[in-house]
Structure 1
Amino acid sequence: MKKKNLLKNAMRYSAMYRIPIWNPFAGVQELLLAWHGGGLSCGSFVATA
């Protein structure tokens, strides 16, 4: 895979999931929360926020 394509895919992925590329840890954390918690995690987060 070419580096240019990889970067393009990363940009598209970032835009799709609204994950800032410059902060990958926060993106991974969000993804893990969404993956493990599903709607329940999202609902509880909204309730506590």
Structure 2
Amino acid sequence: MAVTEHTHNEVSDELVREHAAGWHAFTRFLTIGTVAVVVLLILMAIFLL
């Protein structure tokens, strides 16, 4: 049975911070977009009543 080496790639802290900031912005955009759609649907339902 062959033994494989598991090595860890070094990742810079700056790259991790950059990616985390990107995901934070993306999830914030999705949250605001979802809330906007829900508010729009509620306003449309009130208009129909």
Query: TM-score per shorter chain, which class?
Result: 0.3 to 0.5
TM-score w.r.t. length of structure 1: 0.34
The structure with the largest alpha-carbon Rg is 2
More helix per residue: 1 or 2? 1
Return the structure number with greater relative CO, CA threshold 8 A, min gap 6.
1
TM-score w.r.t. length of structure 2: 0.34
